[in-house]
Structure 1
Amino acid sequence: MEKLSDYVQVAKAAHILSVSQNTLRTWAADGKIPVHRNPANGYRLFKRSDLADFLRETAESATNKKHHLG
């Protein structure tokens, strides 16, 4: 079972990804990163493991593009 501590709110998630909160909200709305809602208050929540996956996939994509350009 997942715990609330497995999730972070927008400000913390944006900090982890080094982007603005608005950028993160846009990415979530566009389906680029999974977003969940707190059932009690409707706040956006981001799962820590989803953030880690996103960072890894972004790094891999950047590495692959660099190799193709080189």
Structure 2
Amino acid sequence: MAKEKEQNLPELLSITEIAKLLGVSTMTLRRWDTKGILKSFRPTPSSQRRYRRSDVAKFLGSKK
């Protein structure tokens, strides 16, 4: 199931998309980002957080 989710993800995902996918709140994702558990990035200084598909796939793989 996780493998199917990984393959269907766009290259960059929003914090809301990741929260829904993982079943956690956006606050949890922000906390994980601060702790280095699942890192996000901002393409420009004023833009929203984005998550790379490859980072999400690694995170899902580490939860097995």
- Which ranges in structure 2 are unaligned for 5 or more consecutive residues? 1-9
**How far apart are residue 47 of structure 1 and its match?**
0.6
For residue 63 of structure 2, give the secondary structure of its aligned residue in structure 1: helix
The TM-score with structure 1 as length reference comes to: 0.68
**What is the 5 A alignment of 1:1-70?**
5-39=10-44, 41-59=46-64
For residue 50 of structure 2, give the secondary structure of its aligned residue in structure 1: strand
**How far apart are residue 37 of structure 1 and its match?**
0.6
The TM-score with structure 2 as length reference comes to: 0.74
State the identity %. Answer: 31
- Which ranges in structure 1 are unaligned for 5 or more consecutive residues? 60-70
Structure with greater helix share of residues: 1
Count residues in correspondence: 55
Q: Which has the higher contact order (CA 8 A, sep 6+)?
A: 2
The structure 1 segments of at least 4 consecutive aligned residues displaced by more than 2 Å after TM superposition are none
* Aligned counterparts of 2:46 and 2:23: Cα–Cα separation in 1: 25
Root mean square deviation, CA, Å:
1.5
